[in-house]
Every structure is written in structure tokens, then in C-alpha cells.
Amino acid sequence: MVQTQTPYRVKGVFLETCNCDAGCNCNFGGFPDHGSCEALIGIRVDEGNFGDVDLSGVKVVLAVKWPKAIHEGNGAAAVFIDESASEEQVGGIATILTGQAGGMPWELLATTLTSLDGPI
């Protein structure tokens, strides 16, 4: 049986910060400047959908920590979604950000995590 993934599209503001010096080495296959990698990612969806679910206006924060470089795995993450999001929006954006809907970078990042809290 062939499973089809729900099509999605997200356009908005993406802000990322990490504990490395400017130019995050992990994003380019290197190693963190200070041993571990810690990141916060904020997303405000201006336009988008997950299947038939409108994601416009959804606000999300991801908190992630890896004990070493991202590509070495064993990361822990938490997904926080603004309380104004509907249950359908929460399900859609959480499915996207946890890599279950496919697509980069989420599909790849999900493989580096061993624990995930949320969506909260």
C-alpha cells in the first residue's frame, strides 16, 4: 500500500539563533564552537496550508539541544505553538516541523532527535 503525504506550503518569517559564534558551523557540516549545539527557532506563518488546513497566523517556537554537533544526533527538542492556533493548525504545523510530512530541513532534522516534547 502506498502512503501519500499531505501537501503543504509555508511562507513567513523564520528567525534562528544558536549558541555558536556567527555563521553556525553545524549548518554547514562542521562542529559547534562550544561543544554542544543549542538553538531557538521562531516561525510566524504569514501564508500557508497543510492539506486543506489554513496555517496563516500560526506562531511557533522550537527549542533544540544536541550534546555535540547536529549531525551527530541524540538531540532533544520541544515544540511550542501559540495558543491561538486551532487544533487542526497545531496538528498540521507539528506534523511539518517533526519531519513527518517530508521536506527539508524538517525531514533531515527529525533524524537527529531522540526526544521531542510537544506540541505544547
Biggest CA–CA distance in the chain, Å, is 47
Question: pLDDT digits over 2-18, tens only?
Answer: 567 899 999 999 999 88
pLDDT at 74: 97
Q: Could you say which DSSP state residue 7 is in?
A: P
Is residue 23, in this structure, part of any structural domain at all? Answer: yes
Question: pLDDT digits over 62-75, tens only?
Answer: 999 999 988 899 99
State the chain's mean pLDDT as an integer: 90
Residue 21: pLDDT band with limits 50, 70, 90? confident
Contact between 46 and 13 under an 8 Å Cβ cutoff? The reply is yes
Domain region containing 108 = 8-117
Distance CA 7, CA 112 (A): 23
71, with CB counted inside 10 A (0-12, 13-18, 19+), is middle
Cell 522550537, residue located: 62
Is residue 2, in this structure, part of any structural domain at all? Answer: no
Tally of structural domains, the chain: 1
pLDDT at 28: 65
